[in-house]
Amino acid sequence: MDTNNLVIYQKYLELIYYSNDLVRKYPKSENFALVKEIKNTLYTGLRHLMYAIKMFNKQDKLKSLNEFDINLNLLKLHVRLSYKYRYISNQNYETWSKHITDICNLLGAWISSCLKK
């Protein structure tokens, strides 16, 4: 693992911690719906990120990175829904979105570097 990958991994773990803290406050009625989807998306994203870090073949790495990107986009949708249904505050929405945007920026740079090689 090189240091750039470690930064994205660390930031993603912070995102998971933050997300888990927030979804604990959701109504019980959402535990098997939106909360489950958010957690599923987070952990599937972590799996794709870990695969990408471990891959040596460029095509395989890009495939995992693209899957990770899809998961981040799904997570953005879950966050918007959470805000729309007022499960999170404006402050939570902004902070959560910033976490995701930071990771998306790192991911974009990583994908670009893979395409240049």
For the chain of 117 residues, list the mean pLDDT of each consecutive stretch of 10. 74 97 94 95 97 93 96 98 97 98 96 87
Task: Indicate which CATH number applies to the domain containing 15.
Answer: 1.20.1440.60
Q: How far apart are CA 107 and CA 50, in angstroms?
A: 13
pLDDT of residue 81: 97
pLDDT of residue 18: 98
Which DSSP letter does residue 27 get? -
pLDDT of residue 4: 58
Structure token digits, residue 81: 């829904």
- Identify which of 70, 34, 36 has the alpha carbon closest to the alpha carbon of residue 52: 70
- Identify which of 65, 67, 76 has the alpha carbon closest to the alpha carbon of residue 101: 76
Residue 86, domain extent? 3-116
Question: What is the dihedral angle through the alpha carbons of 81, 87, 89, 91, rounded to the nearest 10 degrees?
Answer: -60
